[in-house]
Amino acid sequence: MAYTMTPTPPGPVGSQCCVCKVELSICGQNLLDRDVTSKSDPFCVLFMEVNGKWVELDRTETAVNNLNPAFAKKFIIDYHFEEVQKLKFALFDQDKSSTQLYEHDFLGEFSCTLGTIVSSKKITRTLLLGNGKPAGKGMITIAAQELSDNRVITLSMAGRKLDKKDLFGKSDPFLEFHKPGDDGKWMLVHRTEVIKYTLDPVWKPFTVPLVSLCDGDMEKLIKVVCYDYDSDGGHDFIGEFQTSVARLCEAQDASPLELECINPKKQKKKKNYKNSGIIIVKSCKITRDFSFLDYILGGCQLMFTVGIDFTASNGNPQEPSSLHYINPLGTNEYLSAIWAVGQIIQDYDSDKMFPALGFGAQLPPDWKVSHEFAINFNPRNPFCSGVEGIVQAYSACLPHIRFYGPTNFSPIINHVARFAAQATQQETASQYFILLIITDGVISDMDETRHAVVQASKLPMSIIIVGVGNADFAAMEFLDGDSRVLHSYTGEEAVRDIVQFVPFRNFRNVPKETLAKAVLAELPQQVVQYFKHQNLPPINSEPA
């Protein structure tokens, strides 16, 4: 049992683009008792697999004399959906003050991916010894929570009878919102647009993260300053006031909140000075800006389906020149793509049963062409158990089908879309469908496919296309609406971009994890975009 001791991990583990931070809470139950005169004094060590080695990230405090510890120290990890983040939780009985783990008695360990934890929110598992056998009755419970304040505040502001600052006209007022910085100085958070030639402005509603405005503390003082805009940058001060978000929240649509805008210099000079105008908070609403992880922690399942191209252009699978030829290492580009995407997605589907479909082949016994068949030859139950099940069904079906054509995508897209459409009837953020299509060539039914994608863009569904071989994939790039909006042949626009295309050839000589990152990079954003558009919060989400 080799552990690498690294008190400070080298740089952030994983890619630089972190989705968010996750806090893990650890409890142990019925731990082994390694002490003769008293109970064990357990502590938990967290490791992450980095380049094939276990690297220590952090450890909890020691719970003295306790076989059922609930550790106060939390583990905080950067969460990356598009990576397999393997974690190991090892428990030890502290015997000495040494930091070396071999100086302490081993109480058991548990390994899993971070994806497994966040998709379940809370898991309880058996602790294992180094030989793989249970560590007595010892169990570990790990609970995940997103570490981010996702509240946003939307303010609708206006002014009345502001001071006139321009010699030949009225004022051109705008507002600035400031919060106290760590250095004690006011820090600008937001600036509204300028409303020209008026003393009674009505600004557009705006939304900012609550953390930005007041560090999430609704009682913290914030300062609102009103200026008259000047094109030379020398804006004239009209007035200011201090308030808090809690106070702003008193404003309702029916009863706005009115706050006096004060110019301290004028206030000192003029005895009968009242104010420099009124700033009106027409409405103030605090809502949650839900993240991908909010939906996953809320119980949303990612429903994964694979579509495999068995057209003749792939070549005879018995010959090494074929894209379906399984080499002596037991792989090919189709299998590499299935593994790269499947090993990430499978953590987010509780039953891990995945439909695997083929298209473009002639099937026994009558050798009719099918563009939507179960590769396990069981149309009533096309599900495969885990990614391994898909790989086994794929390898088993190759000798029994005849590669043919044409390359039609629309039947498989419509197949998954039917299930995604059923999911919309639940009116909860409980399921999102992902179709992985692996293909070697040009789409034959481009009009039908464009139409199918445009219709699917209205559903909880995303399509990932991996192009294998060296064909011209210009049509695939066209479907991936990163640069322009996709249109159906009827002229209808896609509601959102749901297609991500990558050519496998760009990833042949790089680590296999790189393909998964490229393929899945847009998926979290697509999931959030769909549920927000449908105004569906995560299941069991807390009010703001």
pLDDT tens digits, 374-388: 999 999 999 999 999
Contacts of 378 (CB under 8 A, 6+ apart): none
Looking at residue 34, what is its pLDDT?
A: 84
Supply angle C-alpha 286, 289, 291, rounded to 5.
155
Domain extent for 502: 301-534
Residues 140 and 274 in one domain: no
- Amino acid 254: pLDDT: 81
Q: Mark whether 128 and 255 lie in a shared domain.
A: no
pLDDT of residue 481: 65
> What's the Cα-to-Cα distance from 79 to each of 19, 184, 315, rounded to whole Å?
6, 33, 41
Query: Which CA distances in Å does 349 have to 152, 305, 307, 416?
Result: 30, 11, 18, 16
pLDDT at 21: 87
What's the 3-state SS for 26-41? EEEECCCCCCCCCCCC
Overall average pLDDT of the 214-242 stretch: 93
pLDDT tens sequence across 183-198: 888 998 999 999 999 9
The C-alpha angle 312, 317, 321, rounded to 5 degrees, equals: 90
Residue 4 lies in a domain: no
The phi, psi pair for 179, rounded to 5°, reads: -125, 160
Domain end marker among 115, 130, 147: 147
Average model confidence (pLDDT) across the chain: 90
Q: Is the model's pLDDT at 6 over the cut of 70?
A: no
Q: Supply the pLDDT for residue 17.
A: 43
Domain shared by 346 and 313, yes or no = yes
Residue 542 lies in a domain: no
Counting Cα atoms < 13 Å in the Cβ hemisphere of 183 gives: 3
* DSSP string for residues in 494-538: PSS--EEEEEGGGGTTS-HHHHHHHHHTTHHHHHHHHHHHTT-PP
pLDDT tops 70 at residue 12: no
Domain count within the chain: 3
Whether 421 and 498 share a structural domain:
yes
Structure tokens at 106: 């081993």
Asked whether residue 105 carries a pLDDT value surpassing 50, the answer given is yes
466 Ramachandran zone, left/alpha/beta (phi>0; psi -120 to 50): beta
The stretch 325-333 carries a mean pLDDT of 93
Structure tokens at 24: 């893990």
Query: What percentage of residues in the chain have a pLDDT greater than 90?
Result: 77
7, part of any domain: no
Rounded to an integer, the average pLDDT of 88-113 is 93
In a domain, residue 485? The reply is: yes
**Both 375 and 504 in a single domain?**
yes
**CATH code at position 39:** 2.60.40.150
pLDDT per position as a tens digit, 21-58: 899 999 999 999 987 778 899 999 999 999 899 999 99
CA–CA separation, 79 and 20 (whole Å): 6
Taking only the tens place, the pLDDT of each residue in 470-499 is 888 887 877 776 667 888 989 999 999 999
Domain finish residue from 263, 288, 313: 288
Q: Find the mean pLDDT for residues 242-258.
A: 92
Identify the helix (H) or strand (E) that includes residue 449: helix 446-456
Q: Which residue blocks in 157-304 are alpha helix, DSSP H? A: 210-214, 245-248, 264-269, 292-297
* pLDDT > 90? residue 169: no
Task: Supply the pLDDT for residue 195.
Answer: 96
Q: pLDDT tier at 9 (50, 70, 90 boundaries)?
A: very low
Whole-angstrom distance, CA of residue 485 vs CA of residue 497: 7
| 229 and 338 within one domain | no
Angle (CA) 373 377 379, round 5°: 60
Q: How confident is the model at residue 420 (pLDDT cuts 50, 70, 90)?
A: very high
Q: Is 130 domain-assigned?
A: yes
